[in-house]
Chains A and B, each alone.
Chain A
Amino acid sequence: MSLVHETDYGTPKSKSEKTVTLTIDGQPVTVPEGTSIMRAAMEMGTQIPKLCATDMVDAFGSCRLCLVEIEGRPGTPASCTTPVGPGMVVRTQTDRLAQIRRGVMELYISDHPLDCLTCSANGDCELQDMAGAVGLRDVRYGYEGENHVFAKKDGAANQNFLPKDESNPYFTYDPSKCIVCSRCVRACEETQGTFALTIAGRGFDSRVSPGMQESFLGSECVSCGACVQACPTATLNEKKVIEIGKPEHSVITTCAYCGVGCAFKAEMRGEELVRMVPYKNGEANRGHSCVKGRFAWGYATHKERILKPMIRAKATDPWKEVSWEEAISHTASEFKRIQKKYGRNAVGGITSSRCTNEETFLVQKLIRAGFGNNNVDTCARVCHSPTGYGLGQTYGTSAGTQNFDSVEETDVAVIIGANPAAAHPVFASRLKKRLRQGARLIVIDPRRTEMVQGPHLEAAYHLALRPGTNVAVVTALAHVVVTEKLYNEKFIRERCDWSEFEHWAEFVSLPKNSPEEVAKISGVPAETIRGAARLYATGGNGSIYYGLGVTEHSQGSTAVMAIANLAMCTGNIGRPGVGVNPLRGQNNVQGSCDMGSFPHELSGYRHISLDEPRHLFEKDWGVTLDREPGLRINNMLDAAVDGSFKGIYIQGEDILQSDPDTTHVSAGLEAMECVVVQDLFLNETARFAHVFLPGSTFLEKDGTFTNAERRIQRVRKVMAPKNGYADWEITVMLSNALGYPMQYEHPSQIMDEIARLTPGFANVTYQMLDERGSVQWPCNDKAPEGSPIMHVSGFVRGKGKFIVTEYIATDEKTGPRFPLLLTTGRILSQYNVGAQTRRTDNSVWHPEDLLEIHPHDAEQRGIRDGDWVRLKSRAGETTLRAQITDRVAPGVVYTTFHHPDTQANVITTDFSDWATNCPEYKVTAVQVSPSNGPSRWQEEYEEFSRLSRRIAPLEAAE
């Protein structure tokens, strides 16, 4: 193994299909039109010296190092900003060029410290490389004059000197090493789209400046790392590199945070991870990253990580550390005992959307084949199960229709109930880039999110609807499309059932679905709805991206169908730039759904009652499977309270913190006799656990994740599991102890089994993934190269199905006691329940959950910014601090759910989606009032927390 070096071509790739042939240094080379001379040279293997150019950002032409000579043209043009021309004859190295370059380098070095040996970028510095490349042998100017290098000049303070900025927890900014190449500024603008950096001053005074000469932490910087990656010197450098040194080998792997699925190079020194650098060949992220994947991986070695198995008789006892053998045999005997006493169906399990496909597949196999029932579910239940149901019904597949690259060809993007800038940051950056090129944006969200307005970004329409009225609003959009005849008749006649369309069109045309009527319930002005509908239907390629603000409602599945209808009736399906795209929350939530984690279906979304697929599994697994659907998470908890469900195996999921109505979840867990939690930390659910099996991180195992665009990517082991075993190995041990033998030497064998049993995965192998990098399912004989875009020549189900989407208001209603509506979401720096990100320095950006409240509502209640407030719903109450903002409309309050001491889910109710029981997180009627501090519930919880986390000291050896 060695470091994976990615070629830097200097300028971005041209998308032109027309090619141009020219001669560089006597060699003919053919490249797409619009390619720079610099890139053309690199493609034939000649690296022209450069400093300000890098292929992640557009050419800038400032460093004057990449000069070339072109026959018939005067002077020495910069090769980065000069496009190739047919028949052009270019020389990259002549005496004149060499002399100019040496002169330029000499000037650079005359204002740069010469501490190379002790510099953190030693051996990884382009300035150093270029000094070597141009043959710089001496610097004639000396350092006595004006400079940015030394703190003092002639005994007095040097006015040009700026001290190191170490405010960001992950990287430093050392202005003395800056060559003002602007790569960081351009990366912040072009790649990330935040515009936090600029060049302040002119000429010799030019300095990179975060915000208005603020610190990095104090500026708008979102710490995505693009600037650090772009920096050619040690000016912007990872603190880990400064601390440890330069990495010596790297492994390509996939991020374990959100559903974007960024590919990274894990750069290592021995078994120590030095840094994660986004991988340019990663097709989901194209070399970009966010603060979580790039920097927030320190949780893997956090001191609170549990590395030894533990058991206890009661949840109130202290934990006792035991050997793996004891933990596994104890767990197996408990499950056997419970099944003997209460019946085969009294146990179940939850697969993890954080774990690999292989691990998820094994857990559902253990439950179906080992436990002998179908009581298996996964966290998708509480996030995108309505997507599975809704898109399955209308189109025939339970997944998004596009790849992320598709966004580069969209003309009108619609974001519904999602805030990609916080929850899917790398996708947000790719979308913002397209918006800056002129695409239009419609945002449908109760809150004015970062996507509505920002630097060089403004949504054409923001439909700030009342929480819970998605179905009404999306149906009203369809009303406009149909009644104004903006639908695509040709597409509908070819791809859908015309009579079903007519039936649906009649429904959406009803006056009750008109924008004027819907304005009354949604609070969105009719003209805004009309304008948005017209833009989506007529503005070119229309794409819809949606999130949990759509699914987590009583009518979540109906809203997904309404979205599917809208895309179909405008013909926005089946080609690049269009489509219906759920932004999936967790790294492998798509995969966990694909792998048969739902109680009613086997991998590949085949209902358990269907004989053909079930027999296939029965033959392969050598067991008889139950043909009845099992219990879903919430049903398991209900059954536990009723006394018919007694044992659960939970891999990598914190249901107590992440599921709604915490009191009900606690009651369910408390009623069970054996709760097994397999996780990295003693999470909230573990308070009720009897067995704790320490899990492994994504850095410690091999496997695959499937992201929101159905892309299957490898996860590669970079270090041995600190807990001793990868999660799949633990499931294998448990299954063997339960008497259902499993034998796998490596996860690739599990993938072979998945491929054998799942038509959409038929051609997927580790060898293929190693060769190709990634593949999007379906990948089989019909689509050997995978499927970047679905429904290209027809819908998977045959004809696309229009379904009537009647708006039915949720029963969670505001009233005199609970006059406000609470909705929830995420913030950029934290991730879900925060178990990982809270154990990193990301907490500097978000140390606690805050309640966003409109100034009007705050004033009525006598609440000031930063005050403690009590948040009360019909389900429960909690306290947190208020943040007064008009991002939320009057009548709406908002919070995140990243911190266990806030426990926002104490407030949420157990209303759920009619079709899938996906909880209605996004609408809760609440009251907010001033408070003095934590509620009694929070205090009791904290005390219980302390008790339940005790680990008994080991007895001294005799």
Chain B
Amino acid sequence: MSHETSADKLVYMANQIGKFFASQGAEEAIDGTLVHIRKFWDPRMRNAIIAHLDAGGEGLDPPVRKAIERLRT
């Protein structure tokens, strides 16, 4: 694969995480994704994905989108 931009890559990674937690149940889909990104992504990656969300959040799966909205706080 080659991701055109680093935002594409982050979206892909976030959705991958989201897909795992989605299989753990509806609640975990958002909470699990949120906790995982908070624990393992460095701030510049978190800021970049938040910026991507602010710019429309193209490509983010719905539960991942919700998790990233909550990542701000």
Contact = CB atoms under 8 A, between A and B. Distances in A.
A558 B20 contact: yes
Interface string A616-648: 000000000000111110010011011010000
B68 to A, nearest CB: 16
A875 B2 contact: yes
A69 B18 CA distance: 76
A609 B43 CA distance: 13
Given A641-B6, A914-B16, A812 B42 contact: no
A519 to B, nearest CB: 22
Interface stretch (A568-576, A738-746, A803-811): A803-811
Contacts of B40: 600, 629, 632, 915-916
B20 A914 contact: yes
B42 A635 contact: yes
Given A375-B42, A629-B42, A875-B2, A638 B9 contact: yes
A632 B13 CA distance: 13
A605 B23 CA distance: 26
A599 B42 CA distance: 9
Contacts of B26: none
Contact of A910 (B1, B19, B36, B41): B1
B45 A635 contact: yes
A554 B19 CA distance: 12
Contact of B41 (A557, A629, A808, A874): A629
A874 B6 contact: no
B24 A804 contact: yes
A371 to B, nearest CB: 13
Interface string B9-44: 100010011011001100000000000100111111
A147 interface: no
B39 A911 contact: no
Given A914-B17, A915-B20, A345 B1 contact: no
A247 B3 CA distance: 58
Given A874-B2, A915-B17, A804 B23 contact: yes
A375 B41 CA distance: 11
A916 B16 CA distance: 11
A611 to B, nearest CB: 15
Nearest to A558: B20
A530 interface: no
B39 A609 contact: yes
Contacts of B44: 345, 631, 639, 644
A641 B16 CA distance: 22
Interface in B37-59: 39-45
A910 B3 CA distance: 9
A805 B44 CA distance: 30
A348 to B, nearest CB: 10
A607 interface: yes
A875 B40 CA distance: 26
Interface in A901-950: 909-912, 914-917
A554 B39 contact: no
Contacts of B36: 915
A811 B20 contact: no
Nearest to A806: B23
A952 B11 CA distance: 46
A554 B12 CA distance: 12
Contacts of A642: 6
A812 B12 CA distance: 13
A374 interface: yes
Contact of B1 (A635, A874, A914): A874
A629 B1 contact: no
Contact of B39 (A607, A638, A804, A808): A607
Interface in A579-602: 599-600
Interface residues of B, number: 20
A740 to B, nearest CB: 21
Nearest to B1: A909
Contact of B42 (A628, A914, A915, A916): A628
B33 to A, nearest CB: 10
Interface string A358-374: 00000000000000001
Interface string A557-570: 11000000000000
Contact of A812 (B1, B16, B20, B41): B1
B39 A629 contact: yes
Contact of A914 (B19, B39, B45): B19
A908 to B, nearest CB: 11
Given A808-B19, A874-B1, A917 B13 contact: yes
B2 A600 contact: no
A630 B24 CA distance: 27
A638 B6 contact: yes
Nearest to B25: A804
A253 to B, nearest CB: 36
A803 B24 contact: yes
Contacts of B24: 803-804
Nearest to A807: B23
Nearest to A912: B13
Interface string A685-696: 000000000000
A911 B43 contact: no
Contacts of B45: 631, 635
B2 to A, nearest CB: 7
A911 B16 CA distance: 10
Interface string A314-356: 0000000000000000000000000000000100000000000
B9 to A, nearest CB: 7
Contacts of A806: 20, 23
Contacts of A628: 42-43
A658 B42 CA distance: 24
A859 B64 CA distance: 47
B1 to A, nearest CB: 5
Contacts of B3: 910
A811 B13 CA distance: 12
Nearest to A630: B42
Interface in A90-113: none
Contacts of A912: 13
A37 B24 CA distance: 62
Contacts of A804: 23-24
B1 A911 contact: yes
Contacts of A917: 13
Max chain A C-beta neighbours (<10 A), residue from B36, B40, B41: B40
Nearest to B22: A806
Interface in A443-483: none
A599 B23 CA distance: 27
Nearest to A608: B39
Contacts of A874: 1-2
Contacts of A631: 42, 44-45
A914 B33 CA distance: 11
A557 B40 CA distance: 14
A633 B24 CA distance: 28
B12 to A, nearest CB: 8
Contacts of A554: 16
Nearest to B41: A629
A909 B3 CA distance: 11
A600 B6 CA distance: 21
Nearest to A554: B16
Nearest to A910: B1
A631 B10 CA distance: 13
Nearest to A644: B44
Given A600-B39, A630-B42, A811-B1, 13 more contacts: A554-B16, A631-B45, A635-B42, A635-B45, A639-B44, A806-B20, A808-B19, A875-B2, A910-B1, A910-B9, A911-B1, A914-B16, A914-B17
24 contacts: A345-B42, A345-B44, A557-B20, A558-B20, A600-B39, A600-B40, A628-B42, A628-B43, A630-B42, A631-B42, A631-B45, A638-B9, A639-B44, A803-B24, A806-B20, A808-B20, A812-B1, A874-B2, A875-B1, A910-B2, A910-B3, A912-B13, A914-B17, A917-B13
- The list of the 4 closest CB pairs from A to B, nearest first, reads A806-B23, A914-B16, A631-B42, A628-B43
Interface of B: 1-3, 6, 9, 13, 16-17, 19-20, 23-24, 36, 39-45
